[in-house]
């Protein structure tokens, strides 16, 4: 019983441990434009914004 509880606890800890992410991409599109951002979370990232004017032209 105690061994089973320990194994379940260890499995839960392993599953909840943060995973290493080297490069994350965030891509948000909205009705008035969008935003793309790449990089490692918590560090410097690169990205750009786009927008649409009142005629729907992307700039």
**Predicted pLDDT at 24:** 73
Contact criterion met (CB below 8 Å) for 56 and 50: no
Q: Indicate whether 27 belongs to any domain.
A: yes
Q: Indicate whether 12 belongs to any domain.
A: no
User: What would the DSSP string read from start to end of 35-58?
Assistant: EEEEE-TTS-EEEEEEEB-TT--B
pTM over 0.85: no
**Predicted pLDDT at 19:** 61
Please name which of 38, 37, 40, 35 lies closest in space to residue 51, comparing C-alpha atoms.
Answer: 35
Contact criterion met (CB below 8 Å) for 38 and 45: yes
Domain ranges, residue 46: 20-59
Q: Indicate whether 5 belongs to any domain.
A: no
User: In this predicted model, what pLDDT tens digit does every residue of 1-41 receive, in sequence order?
Assistant: 688 888 888 777 777 766 665 677 778 887 778 888 888 77
**Predicted pLDDT at 22:** 65
Q: Indicate whether 2 belongs to any domain.
A: no
**Predicted pLDDT at 33:** 80
């Amino acid at each position: 019983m105690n061994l089973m509880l320990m194994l379940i606890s260890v499995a839960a800890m392993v599953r909840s441990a943060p995973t290493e992410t080297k490069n994350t991409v965030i891509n948000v599109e909205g009705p008035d434009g969008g935003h793309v951002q790449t990089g490692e979370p918590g560090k410097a990232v690169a990205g750009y914004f786009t927008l649409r004017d009142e005629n729907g032209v992307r700039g």
